[in-house]
Amino acid sequence: MRAFVGTTVTKAAVLEQLRAHSKADEIVRGLYWEGGKGCAVGCTIHSNQHSEYEPRFGIPQVLARLEDCIFEGLSNKKAKAWPVRFMSAVPEGADLSRVHWQFLLWLLTDVKVNRGIDHPLVRDAVKRCADLLVPLTEGEPAAWSAAESAAESAASAWSAASAAESAWSAASAAESAASTARLESAAYSLMADKLESLLQAAKP
């Protein structure tokens, strides 16, 4: 599958549609598609069917879901601009099948967006998971079997991870609501920037 190769919609057409929704202030959070308004996905396909990204645009469904998730977490101003940013970043003819694995690896290992990964209780488990993701980011299908065999060992680290999560939750609860909101918005902004750069870098 290649982006906008043999698809039912051209990149120019979907961007024109998104810009029209943006100009009319019809890109809103909290709903998919209703009364001519909708979220990033809703204004792109006029429904909530993420799977439609594949036949219409040659974009894997998982990336549509990532676009959706990031949209809902961004500040209102950035969210309204996100659908056009996302679609503009997709190179025509690109193979996007590895982008979500590359994003997941970054999300797992970048301390700016995933604080606490250096905690002794989870550090080794994070590294093992990251090592499994690397071949997937490079398009090696054999990595799937390794990932499956590692699932059981990863489960054994769950109790430790849960303990770390409890500690992190307690620390987070100590922060003010305003501070927490700012941190979350900043994290989603980082995610948007990273996904955009990964899309732009995708090759045929």
Each residue's pLDDT, cut to its tens digit, for the chain (204 residues) gives 999 999 999 999 999 999 999 999 999 999 999 999 999 999 999 999 999 999 999 999 999 999 999 999 999 999 999 999 999 999 999 999 999 999 999 988 888 877 788 888 888 888 888 888 888 888 876 555 555 554 444 444 444 444 444 444 444 444 444 444 555 778 899 999 999 999 999 998
Q: Is residue 74 classed exposed, middle or buried when 0-12, 13-18 and 19+ CB atoms within 10 A define those classes? A: buried
By the 10 Å C-beta count (0-12 exposed, 13-18 middle, 19+ buried), 94 is classed as: buried
Which residues share a beta bridge with 33? 38
Read off the pTM. 0.79
